[in-house]
């Protein structure tokens, strides 16, 4: 059996280094790429088509959830493992809804993390304790009952702007980050707000937090 190919995505180099050391010592795997931000992680996954993507929930540029969402479309055979410090139900439900295979808390023991990757590589879902099997079933059931998801009507650019705006960035700051014009940012922001039925910056932040796109303490 060929070794697992893995892309690691976390904005802290020391975390990536620790994960690499752990996985290379405990699994028959090859770390084929590392990323320090969301867009870089997505680019690596699309180019390398690894067996596994391990991505932090809160990444600069694009959230781990948005990376996962786009990776599922562009590299459907890649199994995705979210690494997170948040056990909040909204994050877990959203991760499962978009097809993430495993959701692992950063407080997990190293052997639990390795086991989670083994499960994910085999196509089996895994949630870190205290997220239980009962909870997983409930999340999957709720996901199956979901009707129209307005978020899915947003373009990739509108999702980027939602993520950055929810972190408090101004249109000028977003324009500089994305290397586009301020008027273009404002046009995309207005379209995104209209599609989601949002009216104020506070509405946007509340939506992003409820949706698991950002956290209040990120």
Domains contained in the chain, CATH given: 4-145 (3.40.50.2300), 150-211 (1.10.10.10)
Name residue 81's beta-bridge partners: 54, 102
| pLDDT values of the chain reduced to their tens digit, one per residue, 218 residues | 578 999 999 999 999 999 999 999 999 999 999 999 999 999 999 999 999 999 998 888 888 988 998 899 899 999 999 998 877 777 888 888 888 999 999 888 899 999 999 999 999 989 887 776 555 666 666 655 555 578 878 888 898 899 999 989 999 999 998 999 999 999 999 999 999 999 999 999 989 888 878 766 54
Tell me the whole-structure pTM to 2 decimals: 0.71
Q: How far is CA 94 from the centre of its chain?
A: 9
Q: In angstroms, what CA-CA distances link 152 with 58, 62, 69, 124?
A: 20, 16, 10, 25
Rounded to whole angstroms, the Cα distance separating 16 from 8 reads 7
Residue appearing with tokens 């295979």: 101
Rounded to whole angstroms, the Cα distance separating 148 from 154 reads 12
Cβ neighbours of residue 199 closer than 8 Å, sequence gap 6 or more? 193
Cβ neighbours of residue 169 closer than 8 Å, sequence gap 6 or more? 177
């Amino acid at each position: 059996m060929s070794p697992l190919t893995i892309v690691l995505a976390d904005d802290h180099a020391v975390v990536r280094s620790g994960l690499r050391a752990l996985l290379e010592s405990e699994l028959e795997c090859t770390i084929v790429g590392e990323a320090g931000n969301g867009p870089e992680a997505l680019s690596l996954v699309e180019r390398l088509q690894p067996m596994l993507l391990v991505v932090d929930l809160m990444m600069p540029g694009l959230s781990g959830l948005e990376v996962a969402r786009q990776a599922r479309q562009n590299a459907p055979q890649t199994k995705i493992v979210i690494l997170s410090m948040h056990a909040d139900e909204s994050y877990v439900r959203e991760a499962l809804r978009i097809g993430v295979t495993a959701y692992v808390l950063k407080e997990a023991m190293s052997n639990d993390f390795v086991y989670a990757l083994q499960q994910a590589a085999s196509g089996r879902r895994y949630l870190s304790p205290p997220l239980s099997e009962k909870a997983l079933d409930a999340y999957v059931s709720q996901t199956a009952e979901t009707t129209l998801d307005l978020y899915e009507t947003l373009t990739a650019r509108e999702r980027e702007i939602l993520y950055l705006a929810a972190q408090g960035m101004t249109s000028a700051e977003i324009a500089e980050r994305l290397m586009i014009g301020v008027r273009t940012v404002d046009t995309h922001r207005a379209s995104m707000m209209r599609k989601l039925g949002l009216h104020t910056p506070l509405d946007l932040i509340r939506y992003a937090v409820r949706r698991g796109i950002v956290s209040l303490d990120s």
